[in-house]
Structures are given as C-alpha cells and as structure tokens.
Amino acid sequence: MTDAIAVSGLVKTFGSTRALNGLDLTVRAGEVHGFLGPNGAGKTTTIRILLGLLRSDGGTASLLGGDPWRDTAALHRRLAYVPGDVTLWPNLTGGEIIDLLGRLRGGLDPKRRADLLERFELDPRKRGRTYSKGNRQKVALVAALASDVELLLLDEPTSGLDPLMEEVFRQVILADQRDNGRTVLLSSHILAEVEALCDRVTIIRDGQAVETGTLAEMRHLTRTSIQAQLTRPATGLAGLPGVHDLRSHNGHVSFDVDTAELSTVLRQLTEAGVRSLVSQPPTLEELFLRHYGNATAPAAEKTAPDETAQEKVSQ
C-alpha cells in the first residue's frame, strides 16, 4: 500500500513568522487521518501547500505520488477540498456552485448529490450570499463528497455545523469509507470527531508534528486517572514511576498514572487495601491538553513532556 500524502521536514515562513517548522506527515492510502492542532498550529498552511496554493520553503511534500506545486492540475483531478472558511459567489445558488465545483474536478455523481443534499437538509436554490456559515460549509461538503475523487482534504469541515449536522457528517464519512474506501485528511480541533472517524492521528503544534500514530498507540502513551478510597495510607505511591498529580486526603487518593505503569501502581494500591476504585480511561482530549496545556513552553520540552508534571508532584 502506498502513501497518499508524504510530507517530511516541511518549512514555510511568512515574513518573520515560521508557520511550519519541519513538519512530518504521512497519510496512507485508504485511511482517515486526523490532523489535530489548535488554531494557528499550521494545519491550514500544510493543506495549502499540499494543494499547490503555497510554495514550501524547505522539505519535501508529495501528494498521490506527485509534486503538489508542479503537477497541480493532474493531481487536482483526483482530489476534493473543503476549506475551513467557505466563501461563495454571492449571485450563484448553492446548487450551481456544487455543480460547478464538481464539473471542474472531473465529475459529480448526481444520485449522491441528491442524497447528500437531503441528508444535510440543504436548500440548493438559495443564493450564495444568503447562506449562513453552516450552510456555506454544507455547500462545500456536498460538492466535495459527491465528487468522483480518491482523496478528500477537509480543513475543519464541521466548523459552523450544528451537533445534528456534525453527526450526519460523521455518518456520511463512515459510510463513504465503507463503500468507497477513499483517503481522507481531516484537519480538526474537535477531538470527539477525530476519535469517531480516524484510523490514525497526527498532532501538530507550532508547525511541527509532536505525536503521530493510531489511536490505540496514542492511548497507550496517555494516562489513566484513578480515584480510590483506601483502608490504610498508601505509602510509597508518590515514589512510583509514572504517577502524577497525586493528592491524598483522609485515605482518599486521586492521581494520574501512565498507562504503561498501570499494573505496578494497582499492585501497590491493593496492598494498601482498596475500599472503592474509580478509573477513567485516557481520552484524546487529555493527550491533546498535555501537548497544548502550556503552549508557551519551548519546543525542546516535547522530548520530555512529563517533566513539568513531575515537578508539580515533588513540590
């Protein structure tokens, strides 16, 4: 299986700001790849380079086996793009814009178009200027999803959609994945969306990929939070590796533990006698917060992300 997108060491600067700082990103053919990061992390810049709208200042990027800057027209026949902030031509109706974009990409499936319009409850006869933000987003989504292409580049596609429509979007992507097996690069900062849809995830911060892998792999790197009522005071818990944010009060302890160290820590707890135990599995959100919680920390911190947390414990 080949990679649909292979980016390595990508650099892009705008004046004095370095939007991308050696970004690596690999999207395998046929997978839904989550591209996570807060606003300004460089998600949109990456996608624009992949679309040949911007020229990179360093590193390499390949898209569907081609060079995004040189082979633009040939590559674009095979992909569809939904921008994060959709602007439409004020005088054209939604239906006209969907057809136009579809035809310019190289074909639209009319049955699918009708089906998507119905599922997203979009009126295609309204003029571009009269659509709300969410409806403009739907126009771009229908145009992309109804197109006959092998790669979808979606830049925060659900921004402006209501929760019901977000759910429709998820179902549509899952069904599309089942039926067509298209490759999707889904940039987002909505973690639930990424958890629901994506096979693999890349988390970026300050123009660099700080984490990449499957969700299962990532969960392994994350922490489980534990709350327990103990019969005896648990001595030695604080000294165990992988225990963070320990708080203890009247035999009640709460802490986070690295998932890899879970069994050692549980053994220690059992020895102290467990009256009750609540454990919460790690969420992507925690992982995310761990990377962005202190966004001002220098980039070197990513090699030892636990240091700050450990300092807190020792205080």
Partner 1 sequence: MTGTRSLLRLVLRLDRVWLTVWVLVIALTPVATAASYKKTYPTPESLRGVSDVISNASLVALNGPLFRATLGGLTAWKIGITELILVALMSLLTVVRHTRNEEETGRLELLGSGVVGRYAPLTAALLAVCLANVALVVLIALFLVGVGFPAAGSLALGLSIGLTGVLFAGVGALAAQLTQNARSANGIAIAVLGVAYLLRAVGDTGPIWLTWLSPVGWALRMRPYAGERWWAAVLIVALAVLLTAVAYQLVGRRDIDAGLLPQRPGPAVAAPGLRSPFGLAWRLQRGTLLAWVVAMVLSGAVMGGAANGIAHFNASAQVSDLLARLGGRKVLVDSYLAAVFGIIGLVAACYTVQVTLRLRAEEAAGRLEPLLATRVGRIRWAASHLVFALLGTAVLLLVAGLGAGLAYGAQAHDLGHQVPRLLGAAMVQLPAAWVLAGFGVALFGLVPRLAALAWAGLIACAVLLELGVLLGLSHWVVDASPFAHVPKLPGSAFTAMPLVWLTAIAAVLLGAGLVGFRRRGITSG
Q: How far apart are the C-alpha atoms of 221 and 223, rounded to whole Å?
A: 7
CB contact burial 271-289 (16+ within 10 A = b; e otherwise):
ebeeeeeeeeebebebbbe
Min dist. Cβ of residue 183 to partner 1 (A): 15
Question: CA nearest 116: which of 144, 90, 93, 88?
Answer: 144
70 binds partner 1 per the rule CB under 8 A: no
* Least Cβ distance, residue 161 to partner 1 (angstroms): 17
Verify binding: residue 27, partner 1, rule CB under 8 A.
Answer: no
Cα–Cα distance, 5 to 29 (Å, whole number): 8
Q: Is 65 in the site for partner 1 (CB under 8 A)?
A: no
Q: Which of 18, 28, 119, 126 binds partner 1 (CB under 8 A)?
A: 126
Query: What is the three-class DSSP state of 15?
Result: coil
Instruction: Decide if residue 20 touches partner 1 (CB under 8 A).
Output: no
**Interface with partner 1 (CB under 8 A), residue from 5, 19, 20, 88:** 88
Candidate segments 15-23, 124-132, 229-237, 248-256, binder of partner 1 by CB under 8 A: 124-132
**Per-residue contact string for residues 95-114; x = within reach of partner 1 by CB under 8 A:** xxxxxxx-xxxx--------
Q: How many CA atoms lie within 13 A of 135 on its CB side?
A: 17
Is the Cβ of residue 23 or residue 228 nearer to partner 1 in the bound state? 23
Phi-psi region of 249 (alpha: psi -120 to 50; beta: other; left: phi over 0): beta
Q: Which residues bind partner 1 (CB under 8 A)?
A: 48, 51-55, 72-74, 76-77, 79-81, 83, 85-93, 95-101, 103-106, 123-127, 129-130, 140, 153
